Amino acid sequence: MARVCQITGKKVITGNNVSHSKRRTRRKFYPNLFDKKFFLAEEERYVQLRVSAQGIRKINKKGLKACLDEAREKGFIASY
């Protein structure tokens, strides 16, 4: 499974480690992902998602169904 949030689309980005002497080496910044099960009340079943911390906050704010529909429109998930 890729390191991508299925709600927000957050993924791994690259940058530099910068030492005290300002020497730069490449590194990766990983999103804060969780494998989490949510209860989809409309269909009375559980949905397992890989979501970031920001994705969990978004689900709490907007609701699961709205977030899933939005993620499908944007192409982050194919089906749920």
pLDDT-based confidence at residue 80 (cuts at 50, 70, 90) = confident
Mean pLDDT of the chain: 96
pLDDT greater than 90 at residue 1 = no
Give the residue carrying structure tokens 């978004």.
58
Q: pLDDT per residue over 27-45, tens digit each?
A: 999 999 999 999 999 999 9
Q: What is the pLDDT of residue 64?
A: 97
- The CA distance from 36 to 7, in Å, is 12
Q: pLDDT per residue over 12-31, tens digit each?
A: 999 999 999 999 999 999 99
Q: What is the pLDDT of residue 36?
A: 97
Contacts of 39 by beta carbon, 8 Å cutoff, 6+ apart: 45, 46, 47, 64
Q: Which domains occur in the chain, in start order?
A: 13-74 (2.30.170.40)
Q: What is the pLDDT of residue 70?
A: 97
